Each structure stands twice: as C-alpha cells, then as structure tokens.
Structure 1
Amino acid sequence: MSSSGVNFPKDGEQRPTTAVNQGAFAKCVETASPQLAQEVRSVKNWRSGYAAHVLKQVELACKSEENALSIAQDGLAFMHKTMVFERDGAEVSVTDAMAGGNKKFMDSKIFHTGVVKGTGILPKGNGLQVPYKGGVLSGAPLVSQIETWVRRGVIELSTGQALINVVQNESWSDLTDQTVVLVGAGSAMGPFPLLMAMGCNVVALDLPRKGIWDRLISIAKDSPGTITFPMSRASTKESEFAELAGCDLLAQTPEIRNWLLDVRPGERLLVGAYAYLDGPLFVRVSVAMDAIIESLMTLRKGPKIAIAYLCTPTDAHVSSAAAHAQASNEARKAPMWQKLYGAIAGMACPKRRLASNSRKPVVADDGTEYFVTDATVVEQGPNYILAKRLQHWRAVFARSQGHLVSTNIAPATATASVVSNKLFALAYEGQPYFTPIEVFEGPTSNAVMAALLVNDLRNPLSVANPDRKLRNPMELFSENSFHGGAWRCAYKYNAIGLPSIAAGLVGKYGLKYYLVLYNAVQTIGWSVILAKVVEAVIRGGFAGLASSWVSAGPLVVTMHYVMLLEILHSVLGLVRSNPVTAAIQVYSRLQVCIILKYSGNNPALLTGVMLLAWSITEAIRHAYLASNLLQLPSYLLKWCRYSFFFVLYPMGVSGELGSLAASWQDVQEWPLDRNSFDTWLINCAKTIIGVSGNSMFLLYAIYAPGLAFLYTHMISQRGKALGGGASAKKSKTA
C-alpha cells in the first residue's frame, strides 16, 4: 500500500496518529458538550483512555437528535479537513483533494472498465441458504435455528425477523436489478460470492494484485451475476483482465471517485465499505472510502446512492431494554467459576474485574430512555475504533440526508487471519462459556450478513430506509444486530478476554476429554447394568426381572454416586444445564437406591422395571453426549435420546414410586445415628414420610409435578433437536 495519497498530516518528519485521533473525538462532541470536548483533550494517555470516550460520545448522541447529527457532521468535517492527500511531494486536505471544483483531480481519469458476465443460472425456489456447523440450513430448519438464536439471545428479535423475511420471500434474493459497489471486494467478511450467486451487478474495487482478481473473476464467471472493475489500460482479452484489474484506494482516491461517477450510469449504486487494514492504515483506508462516498453523494447524477457497512460488535451501541434485561439475568445465574474469577480478579486488579454488561439507561432530553451496551475492547486500539466511528458518523449523516444506509452489526467470526493468533483462537474457544455468546465460522457470518443486507434493500420497513422515522438517529444501530451474544452476556465484552482464554485452554486441552471420559464411564456402567437386567430376564422371565436388583444393585448405587459430579458440572458451568434440576434428579434417584440398598423388602418386579428404564435411558444419554463432544454426531442416538422417554419416563417413575411404597415401613425402623451420607439420605426420606403422616402422600405429590415438568421439558427439547415444533409449523404455513 502506497505511503502517498490519503494519510495523517506531518509533524516534522513523522506522521503521528494520536493527535488526529484524540482531536477527532474532542471536535465531534464540542458543539454538543464543550465540557466533554475539554475532558477528551485533557486525557494524558489516549491509548488507554480512549475507550471511555467512545461510550460517552454515544451516550451524548442519545440525548437528542441534534446531538447525534452534530457529532456526526463535526467528526466527519474534522477528519476530512485534517487528514491529507499527498501526491508528488505536495499535500492538500482530503476535503480539497476531493472537492468538485478541483479540476486537477476531477479531470484525472486513468481507469478503463472491464466487465465479466457470469454464465451461471440463478437458482429458482432455493431461497436463503446458511452454512452452519458442517451443514447447510434453509427453509424450516433455518427458521428454527434463527428462532433458537433469538431465544438464546445470540441475535436480536428484529434480526431474527429480518432473516426470516428473507427466508420467506425467496424473490428478494434475486438481485439482478441491484448494482453494488464493493470497496474491498476480496474481504473475508465481504458479501462478494453471495451477491454474485444472487445475480447482482457488482462493481468490484480491490488492490491491483493478480491473485485477488483471478479469484474474483473466477467466482463471477461461474455465477449468474456481472462483475465490473477498473483496469489500468483498455483490453478486450479476458486472459489479461486479472493482470490489469484493480486500484490503490489510498493513492488513487480521486481517480476511483471519477471512475465511479461514470460507471453504470443511471443506476442506483449501493456502496459497501468493506476494506480493512490493521492499525493506522485502517484509519487511512476508512477516510479514503468515506471521501469517495461523500463525493458520490453530492456529484453522481441519477438516484441517490445507498451505503452499506459491517459494524463490529466490539463497540458502543444503542441496544435495547430486552438486551439489558437478559444481561442482568445472565449475571444472576452466571456459573460459580465466573463469579469466583470476578471476585478474585477484582481484588487483585480492579481493571480486570468482570464488569457488568448492564448499564443504567441514558435519559434523553425528551425523557426517552436509551440502553447502551459498551463492548469496546481496549486492546483493539484507538485507530481501529476511530475508523469504525467514521463509518458510524457517515451512516447517521447520510440517512438524515435521505440515503438508504445498511449498517448491521456482524458477530465475532473465526476467520483464518483471526484464529492464526493462538491467543485469539483460545479466546474464541472460551467465549461460548459466557452465555449466550456464540462465535461463528466465516461462511455463516457471510451468509447471514448478506441476508440482512438483502432485507435492508428489499424491506421498506427496515431501519435502513430513511423514510422510516426514528426517535433518535442512533437507533439505526439498535436493530438487525447479529452481535453473537455480546449485548446480552452477563459481563462487558472487554472484561471476558482473559477468562475466555483460560476457559478456552481448559476446554480445548482438558475439559472436553474429561467430559468424554465421564460420559464414556457412564455409558459403559449403564450398559453393564442393562446387560445384567436383560440376562436376568432371559434366565428367569418376570421372576428374573424381579430379582435383577440383586446382581445389578451395587453397580447402580455406584453409578449414582458418580452422577453427583453432574451437579458440580452444572454449578461450575461446565455444561449447560440447570444445577437445581440436576440436583433434584440425582438426589431423588440416589435416595431410592440407598433405600433399596438397606431395605430387606425389595419390591421385586417394579424395581426391575425401574432398572430397565434407567439403564436404557442413561446408556443412550451418555453415549449421545460423548459422541457430540467427539464431533461424531449420530442421528440414531439423537432420535433415541429424544423419543424413548415417552415410554421410559413413566416406567422409571412407576418403578421408583413402587420401590419407595414397598420399602417405607422399613424406613421408619432405621436409626438416626449412622454417620454416613447414606444415613443422611435415608433420614431425608424418613422426614418427608413423617411430615405426611407416615404415608407416601407427600412423595407422590412431589413426583407428579416433577414428571409433568420433565415430560413437557423433553417434548420441547425433542422439537428443537429433531426439527419439529412451532417453527416448522410456521414455515409450512408461510
């Protein structure tokens, strides 16, 4: 990338970035709050102090529409007037370089146009397809997954509705009538392949590198779309296109603008700013993209241009009351290990505490409450956030001028460049332990973000449409956010970095294999129990089933003691299950086992029925969990896991109640002074029976709602796991 073109202004022989960065944050708020502007300028260490002012800027914008617009306009003006365009040793401001009256640059037309029309056929009736966890979702299964994301808090309700709109309106995905300029067409997070597959007319801008253009042109040829691109000289030989294609966004900014003023005349352009570079280069690239967009807004003839951005989840955004409420709830039910880490880290280093993700709402001048989620990650640095602020400012201002603006928040994505950093890779492994965060693979993120762009283009009710009235321009960022759970996590995104790395380390190298071992032991143990019960039945029929406790009982008791670990797993958050539910299930069954262990009056046939139900249920459940952990999913195991309970649960409960009913007289005679866990369990049963007047009434009263709860819970889980339920019905009737 050239050092000429768009750049930071010189200070002696250097081009420092801090003065511009800090100056932009001060200048943008000066009209709305001179006091805050002075506070920004007084920060001594901007590298570590900038993040607080990202949040304050957003909160100030929420106070009124006037604040939001003045911040956007003043920030843009400062950056365009302060950043410079350097060529041949001479520097002018970006504003002057891109001015319509600057004939030196306006008359500079160095690009020729290349066009490749694809030979692919636009698929009919397939609609939106989203790659996800090794498969491709579409239709009813995709709607079901979208609803799951909404229910868990991975995405907002508006996001889910936008995606379902695209699923249910298949014609929306025919983009043969749309022209989209992709600045940074080869970007890993860009929508180029998906837009081409939808038949879009893509105007592609990227660096003049043959490898990039070989790939882009190859994709275009096989698609039903058309690609248009700048070339350094005219040629009709397709074999030369990749060598001649491309442009330098920084050094050729005015010439790129000039070419775009004339390309595909009369059509509305949607300009998508997807180019990304690290550090100060990202600011330079963002200013160059914005300079082109601003010029096209004022100088291009024909329909008003539309604009598209991908927002990062690691920023401060106006969110929603629902997101705030879930974040508060997640904090209350956070796993014990997270609470312990937060307490210890807070004492050792207050800056590393697990800060709450729930902030008090900002009360606007008109009394409206706005919730702001601060997910800014300090380590990203002030240059990254300034580049993203520039896009936010342009989005707010452009929409106020009647331009359609699509600016949706993309999730954390495990792209190759990100996971090549081992610490980032471990953090991404560990983040899902902070419910409801989910990290996505690149193809999934590409597909869902392209779908949200389609919704913004096609849906007149989308927040992108400038005709839709907003209470405050900052609400543009509160809808259609695919934040991946960052808004609804218990803790600030910036705070979970180190614990995520630790969780990722344990999860990748220890926890997974521990859980595999645990489930394998349980699978083997319960399979042995099942074999003993079956052997007893084969040898003695019903009489054999009645006597099966004699041979299988000791192992059944042992397996239930091992199952006490499941309560610990839930409390520590090692698995996603309710600790209370786990404790009730394990306790109730272990109590039955201990009573049978010491009772001289074993209830024969019902106990055998109970053992048969338990052993089949647990062998299947643990085999299913182990196979999933090893990423060896089995549909047969899944179906058995979520279908056999219809018969096995009533069998198990009948056996448990029958066993207790036949043994309760023995319970009354047991002494209270045995110093063991077994005795404690027996005394608990004795107390329950005593409270109910030496009858089984209270035990029956406890079991009845418990069975109903488990039944309805498993039916709901079955619908989600096997693709049934309400979501599928909705899709069929849509």
Structure 2
Amino acid sequence: MNEVVFPRGADGRRSSSELGRAVVADALRAADPAAADAAAAERDWRTGYLRHFRALVEAGLDGGYAIAAAGLESVRRRMVVEQPGGEVPLGSVFEAGGEPPATVTVTGEGKPERELAVPWRGEVLRGDALLRRLDAWVTAGSIEASCAEMVREVMANPDWLDLSGHRLVVLGAGAEMGPLPAALGWGATVVGIDLPRPELWARVAATARRGAGTLIAPGASVETAGVDLLGGLPGVARWLLDMPGRLVLGNYVYAPGAAYARLAAAVDAVAVHVMAERPETALAFLATPTDVFAVPGDAVAHATARFRDRSRAARLAHLFSAERLLTPNYPDGADPGIADSLVPQQGPNYALAKRIQRWRAAVARQAGATVSLSVAPPTRTRSVTSNRLLAAAYAGAHLFGVEVFEPATSNRLMAALLVHQLRNPRTAAPQTWKDEAFGAAHGGLWRTAYQPRSALGLAALRGLPAAVR
C-alpha cells in the first residue's frame, strides 16, 4: 500500500470536505483574513463552497500569487500517503525512491500532419476555412481574440507542430480533452500514463498506430499497460526521470468525486518532484470553463450590451422569478469582472482539483518555468454528459449564447494552444488573473448576458428533450 489519502480529522475520519475547507481558508489567509475566517467557519462545505471559491479570485486580483503559494503549501502539508508502516507526508513519499515500471512502445504507421486542421460539425477546417471559423467564434464571444491570434500564429508556422525536441507526458492518456491524438498525428513522442484498463489502452494504442508518432507507456505490453497514480507515485516519478529529452508534464487526469482532489494532489506532488530534479521541465494544464475567473473589461462590456438587448421573454422571466433567473453576468462597468461559472453539480472536490492546477501554473510561471494553461470550452465529454442535468443544460446552452464544443474540436483547438505556449513561453504577468484570461476559449460563458447559474435551470429545461434522445 502506497496510497494518497486525505488526512484524518479529529473524529478519525478522512474527509474531503474538511480538507477543502482548510485548504481554501489557508489560501485566503494570505490575502484576506476575513474571507479566510468565513471559509473556515463554513458548516456545509458541499453546498456552501461556491462563495469561497469566488472569494479566492476576488482576493487574488492583487494577491493571486500569495494565495496560490499558500494553497499549494496547505495541500502539501495536509495530504498524506498511507503505507504499511503508517502515514507519511505527501512530499516525503519520493525519498525512498521507487521501482520504475516496465516500458511498452507503440510506433505510428501514418505520415506526420504538417498543417493545423480542426474538426468542426462534420467538417475538417484548415486554411481559410479555419481562419473564418476563428473570426466567427470571436464575433460570437465563444473565444477571446487572443485565443484566435494564437491559433493563427500556429497556422502560419506549421513547423511548430514538430514537437520532436520534447517528451510530451500526457497524464490521463485516455482523456477526451487531452492532446495525445493531435500530438501523435503530428509525429510527437508521447509518454502516456493512465489507469491499468485494457479497453482504455487498446483505444490509445489504436490511436498511436494511426498516427505518425511514438507512444511510450508504463507496462510490459499494451494489454498490461497503465498505473494508478494514487498508489504508484515513487515508481512513476523514477520512470519519468529516466526519460530522455525535455519533459512537458501535461495534467489531463480526471476522477469522479473525492478521488479527483486526491489525484490532483498526487499529480502536483509528482510535478514538484520532477521539476526539482529537472528544472527545465515544462507544465501544461487545461482550466475548466465552469470555474471563477477575473476577466477583462471588454468581456464585461460585451455581456452587459447583450443583457441590455435581451428579449422581452427574458425580461419577464427575470421579473416573475423575483430577479433570481437570468440575472446580469456582471455589474455594469466592472473592470475586471468576475466571471462566476461554477456549477454546483460538479461539487467542491472538482473545484479544488482544478484550483490546485491553476495555483501550480501561477507559481511555476512566476518561478520562470514554461507553463501552458488555457481555459477550455464547455465540451460534451463522457464525464460531463454522464450527469443528466449537465447534459440537458449543455443541450440548451446555445439559447443563452454559450457554444458547447464536441470533444474532437476542443481536443485539436487546445492542442494548438499548447503548441503556441511551448514555442512562445510567457513570463508571469503582474497579476495571476491576466495570465489565466489570456487565450481563453470559454465557449461564451464570459460574454453571455446572464450569470450562468441563473440560466442553468432554464437551459436544462429547454435542452432536456435533446439530452434524453
């Protein structure tokens, strides 16, 4: 046993709620002691967490780096690894080393793609067609102009798609949103890590064979490939450190419920350990659009104009709901605005896992590391559509100015943003929120007229017939 677990509380139980409450309070204390006290005093964390995650962004407008560092330190200090001889702190699990797994390699049989192409609604967009789609997305408010410009630069420099100088580590090799298919199509060497599930690895290996790159995975064969990061940290770390070339550690893992917070802590610990041994290592993350972000004033102005021009039906729904439905996304003139797109159904463990990733991106970039962090669009992934309410809300989201992307579109679009950020590393902005807002592909959540939670129920109601087909 070498399992990453939550610490025991005073009652002896391991509680994800206690961990989340404590970490958020510790993070807030670095910038807003009153907000920290409020988080620490929250009795019902499972339903009350929303306002405290918003407070992290509000307090972080000027103190974002301090909040990120304090939050990460709290996770490192509190999380533990359960071993046969007892518990050890998460950060110390690597001290004894570990036996690296065997390695299996799958070589692609295709020719490398040397032009950026993005699937969209049954078409494959490239060249002028892709440029027009980027313009249309910007006009619709689905992506930020900076996102479109990054993709245009990758299109203008197709040699950037050759990632032969990197070892792209895809933690979550089977993830629908991960860059593995795109990178293998471009001829990259991809180090894939995911759970030991034969059906998953059969699918990943088939993708590798169709591509032009090389897939490297832990295991003696494709049939036995995979490792559970929650129980195999020391061996995985040793295996990664033995890889030649410059590592790009890409975090695309997901797990349901409380396991996601544990997994986020585990992956963060691996990243810290590998970067300490190999400081040239780059990091890559996808930020979820269903979170809280500070956004620039032009996004606020766009959303505010849409609210002023809303339909009569929307005005009546707002009025007859005692102003609870279809409320404005921002106060008029806010700069920056707070785009609060948290979805209660995703829960506090999901919010904490994604916030750990954002914190690590901020701290690593400030320390001089190459970091790729992009806000991804709402996407019809299996993990999202398995929730009936979210599936229905996504089906009706277009009625409120939000575009939900298909996985193939998001996958290739976000891979292009990864390439751009590896080729053009940015130094840290004075405020963390400016880095997080740059290049965002939020699907319109930042520029919709309505505060997303105030439209969620109506979107689900309108989208339910399509979701249950």
TM-score interval, normalised by the smaller of the two chains: over 0.9
Tell me how far 1:412 sits from its aligned partner: 0.9
Distance 2:236 2:417 in 1: 27
What does 1:256-275 correspond to in 2, within 5 Å?
256-264=236-244, 267-275=245-253
Q: CA deviation at 1:243?
A: 2.6
Measure the CA separation in 2 of the matches of 1:341 and 1:203: 51
Post-superposition offset of 1:209: 1.8
Q: 1:507 to 1:15 in 2, by over 3 A?
A: closer
User: 3-state SS of the aligned residue for 2:321?
Assistant: helix
What is residue 191 of structure 2 aligned with on the other side?
203
2:92 corresponding residue in structure 1 = 96
Amino acid paired to 1:400: Q
Q: Cα gap change, 1:416/1:508 in structure 2, threshold over 3 Å: closer, same or farther?
A: closer
Provide the residue aligned with 1:177 in structure 2: 165
Q: Which residue of the partner structure matches residue 55 of structure 1?
A: 54
Contact 1:309-1:407 at 8 Å conserved across structures: yes
1:482 aligns with 2:441: yes
Partner of 1:34: 33
Please give the residue correspondences for 1:453-472 in structure 2 after superposition, counting only pairs within 5 Å.
Answer: 453-458=418-423, 460=424, 465-466=425-426, 468=427, 470-472=429-431
Code of the aligned partner of 1:128: L
* Distance in 2 between residues matched to 1:140 and 1:80, nearest whole Å: 48
1:283-682 to 2 correspondences below 5 Å: 283-300=261-278, 304-346=280-322, 352-359=324-331, 370-435=336-401, 437-458=402-423, 460=424, 465-466=425-426, 468=427, 470-505=429-464
| 1:358 partner letter | Y
2:106 to 108, 116, 134: 116
Change in 2 beyond 3 A, CA 1:274/1:507: closer
Tell me the alpha carbon deviations over residues 242-291 of structure 1, each in whole angstroms, 9 at most, x when there is no partner: 13321110001121111111112xx2111010010111010011011100
Match of 1:129 among 110, 117, 121: 117
Q: Aligned partners of 1:255 and 1:508: how far apart in 2?
A: 42
Alpha-carbon separation, structure 2, partners of 1:508 and 1:5:
38
Gaps in structure 1 of 5+ consecutive residues: 234-240, 363-368, 510-734
CA displacement 1:450-481 (0-9 Å, x = unmatched): 111111122x2xxxx24x35231221111110
Report the residue type matching 1:30 in the other structure: R
State the distance in 1 between where 2:260 and 2:428 align: 32
Q: Matches of 1:322 and 1:411 in 2, distance apart? A: 19
Alignment check: 8 A CA contact 2:300 2:333 kept? no
1:346–1:354 contact (8 Å) kept in structure 2: no
1:89 Cα shift? Answer: 5.3
**CA deviation vs aligned residue, 1:479-532 (integer Å, no higher than 9, x gap):** 1100000000011112211110222247889xxxxxxxxxxxxxxxxxxxxxxx
Partners of 2:295 and 2:433 within 8 A in 1: no
Shift of 1:16: 1.3
| 1:276 equivalent among 254, 262, 265 | 254
Distance 1:48 1:422, change over 3 A: closer
Give the number of the structure whose residues are more often strand, by fraction: 2
Match of 2:91, SS state, is helix
Which of 137, 162, 165 is 1:149 aligned to? 137
Residue 457 of structure 1 aligns to a residue whose secondary structure is helix
Partner AA of 2:274 in structure 1? L
Distance apart, 1:318 and its partner CA = 2.0
Specify the code of the residue in structure 1 equivalent to 2:238: N
Give the Cα separation in 1 of the matches to 2:382 and 2:360.
29
Deviation of 1:420 after TM superposition, in Å, equals 4.2
Shift of 1:398: 0.4
1:193 aligns with 2:181: yes
Aligned to 1:74: 70
SS of equivalent to 1:381: helix
Deviation at 1:424, TM superposition (A): 2.6
- Aligned partners of 1:25 and 1:494: how far apart in 2? 22
CA distance in 1 between counterparts of 2:109 and 2:193 reads: 21
Q: Which amino acid aligns with 1:134?
A: G
1:518 match: none
Q: Distance in 2 between matches of 1:443 and 1:274?
A: 15
The structural deviation recorded for 1:18 is: 1.2
> TM-score, normalising length from structure 2?
0.95
Contact 1:130–1:447 (Cα < 8 Å) also in 2: yes
Aligned mates of 2:465, 2:254 — CA distance in 1: 33
TM-score, with structure 1 as normaliser: 0.61
Change (3 A) 1:508 1:221: closer
The alpha carbon displacement at 1:87 in A equals 1.9
Post-superposition CA distance 1:347-377 (Å, at most 9, x none) = 6xxxx43232114677xxxxxx533311112
CA distance in 1, matches of 2:252, 2:368: 22
Q: Secondary structure at the match of 1:358?
A: coil
Structure-2 change in CA distance of 1:242 and 1:6 (3 Å) = same
Amino acid of the structure 1 residue aligned with 2:67: I
**CA deviation profile, 1:90-134 (whole Å, cap 9, x unmatched):** 111102223xxx2x2x2x22412222332322134xx11111111
Deviation at 1:139, TM superposition (A): 0.5
| C-alpha separation in 1, matches of 2:347 and 2:391 | 19
Q: Distance in 2 between matches of 1:73 and 1:361?
A: 31
Q: Distance in 1 between matches of 2:332 and 2:282?
A: 34
Pick closer, same or farther for the CA change 1:30–1:361 going to 2, 3 Å.
Answer: farther
Query: Equivalent residue for 2:22?
Result: 23
Q: Name 1:581's counterpart in structure 2.
A: none
Q: Provide the rounded CA distance (Å) in 1 between the counterparts of 2:393 and 2:177.
A: 20
- For 1:353, give the aligned amino acid: L
Q: Secondary structure at the match of 1:111?
A: coil
Matching residue's letter, 1:119 = E
DSSP-derived class of the 1:92 partner: strand
Paired with 2:274 and 2:381, the residues of 1 have a C-alpha distance of 32
Retained in 2: the 8 A contact 1:359–1:373?
no
Size of the alignment, in residue pairs?
467
**Do the aligned partners of residues 89 and 450 (structure 1) sit closer, same or farther apart at CA in structure 2, a change above 3 Å counting?**
same
Extract unaligned runs of 5+ from structure 2: none
Counterpart amino acid of residue 298 in structure 1: A
Conservation of the 8 A alpha-carbon contact between 1:361 and 1:372:
no
Instruction: State how far apart, in whole Å, the 2-side matches of 1:46 and 1:242 are.
Output: 42
Structure 1 residues 194 and 431: alpha-carbon distance in aligned structure 2, compared to 1, 3 A threshold: same
CA distance in 2, matches of 1:168, 1:293: 32
**Residues 189, 93 of structure 1: CA spacing in aligned structure 2 closer, same or farther, 3 A cutoff?**
same
Name 1:227's counterpart in structure 2.
215
Q: Counterparts of 2:281 and 2:65 in 1: how far apart (Å)?
A: 20
**Structure 1 counterpart of 2:316, one-letter code:** L
Q: 1:25 to 1:391 in 2, by over 3 A?
A: same
Q: Quick one: distance in 2 between partners of 1:226 and 1:361?
A: 50
Assess, with a 3 A threshold, how the Cα gap between structure 1 residues 475 and 228 changes in structure 2: closer, same or farther.
same
Q: Are residues 81 and 149 of structure 1, via their aligned partners in 2, closer, same or farther at CA, if it must alter by over 3 Å?
A: same
Alignment partners' CA distance in 2, 1:418 and 1:474: 26
Tell me the C-alpha RMSD between the 2 structures.
Answer: 2.0
**Percent identical:** 36
Flag the structure with higher helix content. 1
Greater RCO, 1 or 2 (C-alpha within 8 Å, sep 6+): 2
- Alpha-carbon contact 2:65-2:431 (below 8 Å) kept: no
- C-alpha contact (below 8 Å) 1:360/1:371 kept by paired residues: no
User: 2-side partners of 1:298 and 1:444: how far apart?
Assistant: 35
Q: For 2:150 and 2:17, how far apart are their aligned partners in 1?
A: 39
Determine which structure has more spread, i.e. the larger CA radius of gyration: 1
The amino acid that maps onto 1:269 is L
